[in-house]
Structure 1
Amino acid sequence: MAGKARASGSKRSFGGLRQLPSGRWQAQYTAPDGLPFKAPRTFQAKDDAVAWLAAERRRIELGTWTRQLQTDVPRRTLTLATYADRWWSQTESRHKPRTRTLNRGYLDRVILPELGTTPLTALTVSCIREWFAGLDAFPTRNANAYSLLRTILNQAVDDELIAANPCRIRGGSVKHRKVEPVVLSPAEMRELMSRLPDQWRALILLAAMSGLRWGEVAALRRSDLDLSPNGMLVTVARGLTKDRGTWVVGRPKSRTALRTVPLPEALRPLLVEQIERWAEPGRAGLLFPSKHGGFLDATAPRRALTRALAAMQYPHMRLHDLRHSAATIFAQAGSTLSDHMALMGHSSSAMSARYVGTSAARNRVLIEGIWTD
C-alpha cells in the first residue's frame, strides 16, 4: 500500500495498477527512458486502466512513444460543477433520498452558481473564503453547504486531483442558531398535557418525554411499543421523511438512532387510549396515523401544540423543541454522558451538549440553592 491508496492485489507483466480510496483506478508504467510514467487521469473501472496500459505498450512496441507526445495531449478542464455532479451521482447507494435532495439543492442554489465554472485545480483558500463571506444570512444553510463542499473536495484529494483541500474556514460548518429552542420543565409538561386535545396528548407527550425525532415518532408501529407491567419501552427501528412530496420510510438518521427508550409510567393511560381510539389495527398498524389513514403530517399536531402554548401564555415552540426539552430533563435528572447519548440517539457528545438547554426558572432554583444555608 502506498499513501492512502490500496494495492489492487494483482501482478502485471507491463505497468502497474492501484485502487484509490474513492474506488477509482490509477495506472503507471516504466517508460522507455527509464522513468516512471503515470496515466494523466484516474479510471472509473479497472478494465479502463488495463486498456490504457495496453495502448501505451502498443505505442512502445511500434516505436512511436515519446514522452513529449504523451505529456502534451490536451485534456478537458475539470470544473467543480463537473466533479460535484459526478460525486453526487455516485452517492445514490450511500445516502438517503432526502439527503441527496438536500445536497442537490445546496449544490444548485448555494455552491455552483458562484464556484461551478472554476477549474478544480484553481480553487484556493481565498476563493472559498470569498464565496463563503458573500453568502446571504442563512447560517444553517450556509454551514451545511460549506460542509458539503468540504466533503466533495476531500474526495478530490483522495482521487489525487488536487493536492490539498482549500476549505479551511475555521467554524465554517458550525451551525449558529437564529432562535433558541424552547425548553419546558416537567411542571410545564403537565400543564401542557391538560390543555391539549385528547387526540394529540399521547403523541406530543411521547415526543417530549422520550426525545424521539418527529420522523421517528411518525414512523412508529404498534409493535414498536412495549406496555409491559414491568416498565414501558419504545423501540426506534425506522425514520420517516418527505422527499419532494413523497413519504420515504428508511433507517433512522444514524446507526446510534437505532435504540430502545424507556417511557415514564405517566404515559401509560394516554398510550392505551391512543391504541384503542386512534391507532391503526394490528401490530404493524401505525401508532399515530393521519385522520384518513397513512402517515401523519406534522401540521395538525403543530397547530394543537401552538394553541395549547398560547393558552399557557408561553412563547411559540416548534415540535422539534420537544426533543430539546427531553434532552434537558434527562441531563437535569443526572444522566451520565453515555446515558444521554444513548437515550437521544446521538453519535457525538458535542451534539448531546447542543441539545441540553436551561430556563430562567431552573437558574433561579440553582441560585437559591447555592445561597441558602
Structure 2
Amino acid sequence: MTTKKKPRRSFGAVRRLPSGRYQAKYTGPDSQWHTAPQTYEMKGDAEGWLRAEQRLVNDGPWTPPTQRQPQTAGKAAPLTVKALCEQWLTTAPLKSSTVSSHRKRLELRVYSTPLADEPAVDVDRARIRQWWADVQRQWPDTGSTNSYAYKRLRTAFQWAVDEAELLHTNPVRVKGAGTPPRSDIRDRPLITRDEATALVGGVTERMKTPVELLLYCGLRIGELLELRRNDVHGIDGDGPVTLRIRRDAVREEEPKVDDDGEPVMNKRTGKQVMRQFMVSHDTPKTSAANRDVGVPASVATRLRKHLREHVARGPDALIIPNARGGVMMDTTFRGLMSPGKAHAGRKDVGPHDLRRFYCTLLVNTPGVSLEEARRLVGHEDVSQLMNYQRASSGYESRAAAALNNMIEPTPTPKDQNNE
C-alpha cells in the first residue's frame, strides 16, 4: 500500500522547537530568511503568521518583518530582550536550579533596566555598550553579579542566533565584560591544617565527619547533602573506603500561595514571597562530577563510626539528613558549621572554602598528577582545578628561600667534604 506524502509547504516553513513551541520562517523577496519575531504554542498560529506574510509579499509593499511597526508585523509585537531571555531559559536544556540562578541575575541587571523592554532585533553593539556602562555606574561594587548577568545575556542572544534563528548576529560583545574583577575571595587566606583541625573540633559530633568529607574529600555542598549510605563503598572491615558521587542536591524556590491558591505578597516590598526547598538530582553538576573519591584512612575510621551512630539503616539513608530525615538545606548546614568557624577563628569561610583547601592540598601532594587531581575533584578541565588554588600560609618566605637556593645552592655533605 502506497502512503500518500503530505504536500510540501509552498511558502515558508514551520518547525517544532525542543521546547514544544513552533517557529515559522520564510525566504523573502530579498532572498534572505526571515523568522517570526516570536514562537507559538500552536502550529496553526505559526502557519497563520506565514499566511499573513505571504499576503504582504504577494500584494506589497513588503519590508522585512524586523523593520515594521508592531501592528503590521503579522499582528505580533516585536520580541523584547526580556522575552528573548525567557525563551532561552525555558527552551535550552538547563536544570531547573540553573534556570533559577540565571534568571535571578538577569532580573537584577537586565530586566530591571530599560534594555529589557526594547525589541531584540533593534539592539546593536552600541546599545549593549551603553547598557554595560549604565550597569557599572549604577552597581559599581557588584562586579561578579554584573559579569554573570552579561554572560547570561550574551548566551541568550547567541541562542537566538544559533538555535532559534531569530537574529543574524550577536550584538552582546563588550571586551572584558564577561570577566569578573578580582575579588577578595581570591585573596582570602587558605585554611591552614591547624584551622582545619579546629574547625572539625568546634562542631557537634554529628557534624564532624561531614565537615571532614568537605575538607579531605573535596565534595561540593550539594554532593555531601545528597550522599547516602549506599554511596559509601568498602565500609565493612578496615580496608579502603570510596565515595561514589552520582547525585547532587540543589536549592530551588517556588511562589508561596495561601489556602485559596493565591500568591502571598510581601507587605513591605510588594514582591511575591518565594518558598525555598532542596531538590535531589540524579546527576551532579556536570558529567565530570560523576566520580569516585578515596577517603583518607583516618577519615574512613571516623566515617564508619558516624554511620553506626548517626545514620539510619537502609541503603538510601542520608549521611547527614535534616530533622525529618530528608535532604538538609544548605543554609542549615552553614549554620551548623558556625561554631566550628568561630573555634578556628575563621568566620569568613564557607563550605566551598573547604573544597578549595582540598584542591590545593591535592595539587601539592607528591605522586598525584594534575589529571588525577582533576578527576578526583570532578572538574571538566585542569584550568578549573588551577583556578581553585589558594596561597598557603607562609608562601612569601618559602618562595624567597627557594629562590635563594637557586642563587646560592645549599652545599651538600659531599661538597662540604671536598672543601
- TM-score, normalised on structure 2? 0.73
Query: Structure 1 residues 259, 315: closer, same or farther in 2, change over 3 A?
Result: same
Query: Structure 1 residues 131, 274: closer, same or farther in 2, change over 3 A?
Result: same
Q: Is residue 232 from structure 1 mapped to residue 241 from structure 2 by the alignment?
A: yes
Q: Is the 8 Å Cα contact of residues 110 and 149 (structure 2) preserved in structure 1? A: yes
Q: 1 CA distance for matches of 2:204 and 2:17? A: 54
% identity of equivalent residues: 22
Q: 2 CA distance for matches of 1:314 and 1:77? A: 52
Q: Is the 8 Å Cα contact of residues 15 and 53 (structure 1) preserved in structure 2? A: yes
Query: Structure 1 residues 218, 182: closer, same or farther in 2, change over 3 A?
Result: farther
Match of 2:350 in 1: 318
Match of 1:179 in 2: 185
1:102-117 matches, within 5 Å, as 102-114=101-113, 115-117=115-117
Q: 1 CA distance for matches of 2:381 and 2:122? A: 35
The match for 1:260 among 277, 289, 292 is 292
Q: 1 CA distance for matches of 2:345 and 2:380? A: 36
1:236-315 matches, within 5 Å, as 236-244=245-253, 245-250=276-281, 251-299=283-331, 301-303=333-335, 305-314=337-346
Q: 2 CA distance for matches of 1:203 and 1:85? A: 38
One-letter code aligned to 1:247? M
Q: Is the 8 Å Cα contact of residues 196 and 344 (structure 2) preserved in structure 1? A: no
1:349-360 matches, within 5 Å, as 349-360=382-393
Root-mean-square deviation (Å): 3.3
One-letter code aligned to 2:196? M
Structure 2 unaligned residues grouped into runs of 5+: 1-5, 254-275, 411-419
Q: 1 CA distance for matches of 2:234 and 2:338? A: 29
Bigger CA drift: 65-74 or 240-249?
65-74
Q: Is the 8 Å Cα contact of residues 157 and 165 (structure 1) preserved in structure 2? A: yes
Residue by residue over 1:22-81, the C-alpha shift from the partner in whole angstroms, topping out at 9 and shown as x without a partner, is 8865544697xxx75855627657776667667888x69xxx933425868821333212
The match for 2:149 among 145, 150, 153 is 145
One-letter code aligned to 2:234? L
Match of 2:220 in 1: 213
Match of 1:201 in 2: 208
Q: Is the 8 Å Cα contact of residues 143 and 173 (structure 1) preserved in structure 2? A: yes
Q: Is the 8 Å Cα contact of residues 22 and 155 (structure 1) preserved in structure 2? A: no
Q: 2 CA distance for matches of 1:260 and 1:357? A: 24
Match of 1:74 in 2: 72
Q: 1 CA distance for matches of 2:311 and 2:323? A: 10
> What is the CA-CA distance between 1:161 and the residue it aligns to?
3.2
Q: 2 CA distance for matches of 1:37 and 1:173? A: 32
Structure 1 unaligned residues grouped into runs of 5+: 1-9
Q: Which SS does the other structure have where 1:240 is aligned?
A: strand
Q: 1 CA distance for matches of 2:121 and 2:50? A: 26
One-letter code aligned to 1:164? T
Query: Structure 1 residues 15, 234: closer, same or farther in 2, change over 3 A?
Result: same
Q: 1 CA distance for matches of 2:382 and 2:95? A: 24
Q: Is the 8 Å Cα contact of residues 15 and 27 (structure 1) preserved in structure 2? A: no
Residue by residue over 1:192-245, the C-alpha shift from the partner in whole angstroms, topping out at 9 and shown as x without a partner, is 434443221101011111111101101100001113544211111111112121
Q: Is the 8 Å Cα contact of residues 182 and 317 (structure 1) preserved in structure 2? A: no
Q: 2 CA distance for matches of 1:147 and 1:366? A: 37
Match of 2:173 in 1: 168
1:351-370 matches, within 5 Å, as 351-370=384-403
Bigger CA drift: 331-340 or 256-265?
331-340
Q: 2 CA distance for matches of 1:107 and 1:260? A: 35
Query: Structure 1 residues 175, 339: closer, same or farther in 2, change over 3 A?
Result: farther
One-letter code aligned to 1:184? I
Q: 1 CA distance for matches of 2:25 and 2:365? A: 59
Q: 2 CA distance for matches of 1:117 and 1:352? A: 40
Q: Is residue 41 from structure 1 mapped to residue 50 from structure 2 by the alignment?
A: no
Q: 2 CA distance for matches of 1:184 and 1:370? A: 25
- TM-score, normalised on structure 1? 0.81
Bigger CA drift: 195-204 or 22-31?
22-31
One-letter code aligned to 1:41? A
Q: 2 CA distance for matches of 1:223 and 1:313? A: 35
Q: Which SS does the other structure have where 2:278 is aligned?
A: strand
Q: Is the 8 Å Cα contact of residues 235 and 259 (structure 1) preserved in structure 2? A: yes
Match of 1:12 in 2: 8
> What is the CA-CA distance between 1:339 and the residue it aligns to?
1.6
Query: Structure 1 residues 38, 202: closer, same or farther in 2, change over 3 A?
Result: closer
Q: 2 CA distance for matches of 1:140 and 1:70? A: 42
Q: 1 CA distance for matches of 2:336 and 2:16? A: 53
Residue by residue over 1:229-287, the C-alpha shift from the partner in whole angstroms, topping out at 9 and shown as x without a partner, is 44211111111112121221112111111111111111022101211111122111001
Q: 1 CA distance for matches of 2:201 and 2:376? A: 26
Match of 1:133 in 2: 133
Would you say how many aligned residue pairs link Structure 1 and Structure 2? 355
Q: 2 CA distance for matches of 1:296 and 1:39? A: 50
